[in-house]
Amino acid sequence: MENDITFLGKIIRVDSNIVEVEISDNIPSSSPIIEGKVYKIGQIGTFVKMPIGNVVSYGIVSSVSNTPSKINDSELKQAIGSRFLTVNLVGEKIGNGDFEKGIGLYPTINDEVHIVTESDLVDIYGKGSLGSTPIGKHSSSDNLDVFVDVHKLVLRHAAILGSTGSGKSNTTAGMIKRIINDYSNSRMVLIDPHGEYATAFPEAKVFKINDTHNPLYIPFWLMNFDELAYFLVGAKPTDDQRPEYRLLRELVVQLKKENYNLKAGNVNQDYITADSPIPFNSRKLWYEMNWWLNASFSSTKKDEQSKEDSKKYLKTLEGQVTEDFGDYENLQGAKFHSHLNTAPNSPPFKSQHNEYYSYEKKLLSRLRDSRYNFMFHPGDYKDADSPKDLHNLLNEWIGSHQRLTILDLSNVPFEVLDIAVGLITRFVYDSMFWGRNEISTGKNRPLFLAYDEAHSYLGKNDAASYAKVAVEKIFKEGRKFGLGALVISQRPSEISETILSQVGTFIALRLTNSSDQSIVKSLAPDNMNSLIDLLPSLRIGEAIVVGEAIKIPSRIRLPLQNPRPDSADPKLVEQWKIEFAEDLQCYQKVVTKIREQKL
């Protein structure tokens, strides 16, 4: 075996997961040619093998030195001139069996160590199996596909991490394309905050705010009551003992119970709560608050004033309301006779219901904010009389024949992004939870949710984030209901720790920030840290893959996609060489877009 061209040297030290190898002085070349391919001895991250009878142990080179890692002064002179490799043990192959992670039979002192060739790499990585798909080529071989287990990739969740310009968007597009092409019944939803991915997937169904053909609507009434109260009036669950909070809940339930006759099917009114996703008119809610604040009454006592309410919206106490009942659709309240125009202690009296004072002002401000039109004016999903209901929305997002749906949030102002992502996520989660045993959804047709630019709305320090709370629930519980998730980010150190702790597979491209590197390192196996240390030196389009979906942590090269996402750098040098005339109209358009928050 020592005469083999693959022979490297012999083991001089064995630890629990590390062996140290002294490279033989008799090796004719540091770059031997084996089966027509040049192999470079001692490359960090390359494999070596240690045959022991019918068992072959495999390891990854983690360091190269001209002295052993443990040596005393008396041995130093003898060691000078030698070369040593530190190798992390990763797995073994017994006879003709498959490669397995972990070591059962450890190599010992003086056992031989050999270069791993392409044929050996095939033994390690295999040729793919049912339920696996290739995501790239091994960095050591142009001919070796690296496969991932799709089941574990999706349902154990995944993350694609890398500094800006490292190839995250290309990696995401490539992985999604592989899954779509290999699985005809797959389905995915991609949250795209920058509108990059439509160009990479011309066959996908793309929803975008203000789009003519597929406008994106996210009805506000999808929120549960805690979310709704915070969104509409800034109230928190801890306010539940305040009278205005309780009255707001009662008003919301009252308005929802009026709309029990729905397109998706009638709902028993006894089951309708403030958390039920039942359409109601937010402007009627404001009108109701405004009425209680401004109405005039025949009694000064608050409890008697409440009893005077004989009608729900046009509360016409005879002789006290003018003919102008207002118009809630145009946010015009009813006009009342003033108590100042009457004799002292004579009706009409000023309303004693001041509970809604702050709520009414906040709600009015929210309703007038045009940035929220995609929520307050959701087209065909506006109310119970609208032509479409939530089953239509679900079908458009996850039930159509297109296997990929892209929700383009590029027209959503940053201040609203968190709310939009949170609502989308919770609605999809609820559909998978309650439909987990149905034929066309839940466990019978799993769903993959991808979140691009995740650090923008899934920050670990943002306790009040709608999106973070909803996405964390998917990462903690989604697997049981057929829901997997993928986060894509350039700053993993800023993402919620709860989310990252539930990620089963990491695809890490070049990361230059030490805190971001430490996140990946902390989640990789202890003996693979040397591979993670390569992150800042990876080339564009290279990645380290670690986790449940891959047999062993690996360095891979990812193919360039065509068509690709619209995330490439601008052609700076070419553009800066062009002569531009002064264009005032251009900046007029820009300023208008800033003011209207529309692209």
Question: 173 and 200 in contact (C-beta within 8 Å)?
Answer: yes
Question: 86 and 62 in contact (C-beta within 8 Å)?
Answer: yes
Report the alpha-carbon distance of residue 488 to residue 455 in Å, rounded.
8
pLDDT above 60: residue 342? no
CA distances 368 to 162, 218, 283, 286, 373, Å, are: 40, 17, 10, 11, 9
Task: Specify the residue for token string 């992502």.
Answer: 421
Angle between helices 414-434 and 466-477 (to 10 degrees): 30
Residue 134 has which token pair?
A: 């290739």
CA distances 281 to 36, 46, 216, 230, Å, are: 73, 63, 19, 17
381-394: burial string, b at 16+ Cβ within 10 Å, e else: bbbbebebbbebbb
Report the alpha-carbon distance of residue 491 to residue 523 in Å, rounded.
15
Report the alpha-carbon distance of residue 126 to residue 260 in Å, rounded.
57
The four Cα atoms 458, 462, 466, 470 give a dihedral, to 10 degrees, of: 50
Which residues are CB-neighbours of 252 under 8 A, at least 6 positions away?
225, 228, 274, 280, 285
pLDDT above 60: residue 74? no
Q: Which amino acid is at 121?
A: L
In this predicted structure, what is the pLDDT of residue 316?
42
CA distances 114 to 51, 58, 493, Å, are: 8, 10, 39
Q: What is the length of the chain? A: 599
Share of the chain above pLDDT 90, in %: 35
Domain boundaries, the chain: 7-125, 145-204+402-566, 225-367
Q: Summarize pLDDT for 276-331 with one digit per residue, the tens.
A: 999 999 999 999 888 888 777 665 555 554 544 433 333 444 434 555 678 888 98
SS3 category, 245? helix
Q: Are strands 205-208 and 404-408 parallel, antiparallel or unpaired?
A: parallel
Architecture of domain 145-204+402-566 in CATH? 3-Layer(aba) Sandwich (3.40)
Q: What region does 116 belong to: left with phi over 0, alpha with psi -120 to 50, or beta?
A: beta
pTM value > 0.85: no
End-to-end CA, the chain:
68
> What would you measure as the largest C-alpha separation in the chain, in angstroms?
117
Cβ neighbours, 10 Å, residue 169: 25
Residue 360 has which token pair?
A: 């009414």
Report the alpha-carbon distance of residue 447 to residue 430 in Å, rounded.
13
- Residues facing residue 49 across a β-bridge: 58, 114
pLDDT band of 141, cuts 50, 70, 90:
confident
Closest CA relative to residue 156, chosen from 504, 586, 579, 549 = 504
- Residues facing residue 436 across a β-bridge: none
Closest CA relative to residue 545, chosen from 531, 536, 555, 537 = 555
Question: 543 and 534 in contact (C-beta within 8 Å)?
Answer: no
Q: Summarize pLDDT for 373-382 with one digit per residue, the tens.
A: 899 999 898 8
Report the alpha-carbon distance of residue 28 to residue 39 in Å, rounded.
13
DSSP label of 15: -
In this predicted structure, what is the pLDDT of residue 205?
93
pLDDT band of 514, cuts 50, 70, 90:
confident
Average pLDDT, the chain: 83
Choice between 296 and 113, residue whose per-residue pLDDT is larger: 113
Report the alpha-carbon distance of residue 27 to residue 2 in Å, rounded.
9
pLDDT above 90: residue 122? no
Q: Summarize pLDDT for 165-195 with one digit per residue, the tens.
A: 888 999 999 999 999 999 988 999 999 999 9
Q: Summarize pLDDT for 439-456 with one digit per residue, the tens.
A: 888 999 999 999 999 999
DSSP 254-316: HHHHTT---TT----GGG--TTS-----HHHHHHHHHHHHH-EES-S-HHHHHHT--SSSS--
Report the alpha-carbon distance of residue 93 to residue 99 in Å, rounded.
5
State whether the Cα torsion 435-441-446-452 is positive or negative.
negative
pLDDT band of 503, cuts 50, 70, 90:
very high
Which three-class secondary structure string do you get for 367-422? HCCHHHHHHHCCHHHCCCCCCCCHHHHHHHHHHCCCCEEEEECCCCCHHHHHHHHH
Residue 220 has which token pair?
A: 């506000």
Cβ neighbours, 10 Å, residue 339: 17
What are the backbone angles phi and psi of residue 92, rounded to the nearest 5°? -150, 165
In this predicted structure, what is the pLDDT of residue 310?
37
CA angle 381–387–388, rounded 5-degree value: 50
Report the alpha-carbon distance of residue 325 to residue 305 in Å, rounded.
19
Task: Specify the residue for token string 């709309």.
Answer: 259
Task: Specify the residue for token string 């466990």.
Answer: 443
Angle between helices 282-294 and 243-257 (to 10 degrees): 130
